């Protein structure tokens, strides 16, 4: 294989990998592109919480919180830890945590709200 052919093959592989990453990123952005899910993720970035805590702090109905948590779990963004009869939710994906923390700092921090 000539040097030029190797470079073309590498570029095609890089482009394919970039496309795969772009698809994953698009799926992630779709997951958080819902007000309820984004609010839940922002609250979970503060501290792990159970459904009742999220319900009270967000002013959402329990059914709505549970529905959105189920979706976030399906997407692998949130994990559930059972402790007796309580289930505590937290952000599961490190990449999601970085993005949510950044969004929180930019849009929800005390300095931004003033």
The torsion angle over the Cα atoms of residues 107, 103, 67 and 63, rounded to 10 degrees, is: -30
The widest CA-to-CA distance across the chain, in whole angstroms, is 65
- List the CATH number of the domain containing 72: 1.10.10.10
**Would 80 be classed as within a structural domain?**
yes
Q: What is the mean pLDDT of residues 75-103?
A: 93
Amino acid 110: pLDDT: 67
Structural domain boundaries enclosing 54: 34-113
Q: Say how many domains are in the chain.
A: 1
**Would 10 be classed as within a structural domain?**
no
- At 34-87, the pLDDT tens digits run 999 999 999 999 999 999 999 999 999 999 999 999 999 999 999 999 989 889
CA distance 69 to 18: 29
**Would 8 be classed as within a structural domain?**
no
Amino acid 80: pLDDT: 96
């Amino acid at each position: 294989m000539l040097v030029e052919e190797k470079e073309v093959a590498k570029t095609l592989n890089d482009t394919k990998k970039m496309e795969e990453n772009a698809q994953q990123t698009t799926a992630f952005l779709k997951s958080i592109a819902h007000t309820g899910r984004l609010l839940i993720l922002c609250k979970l970035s503060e501290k792990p919480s159970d459904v009742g805590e999220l319900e009270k702090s967000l002013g959402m109905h329990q059914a709505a919180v549970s529905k959105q948590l189920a979706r976030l779990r399906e997407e692998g963004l949130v994990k559930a830890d059972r402790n007796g009869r309580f289930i505590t939710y937290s952000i599961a994906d490190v990449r999601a945590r970085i993005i949510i923390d950044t969004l929180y700092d930019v849009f929800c921090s005390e300095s931004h709200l003033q």
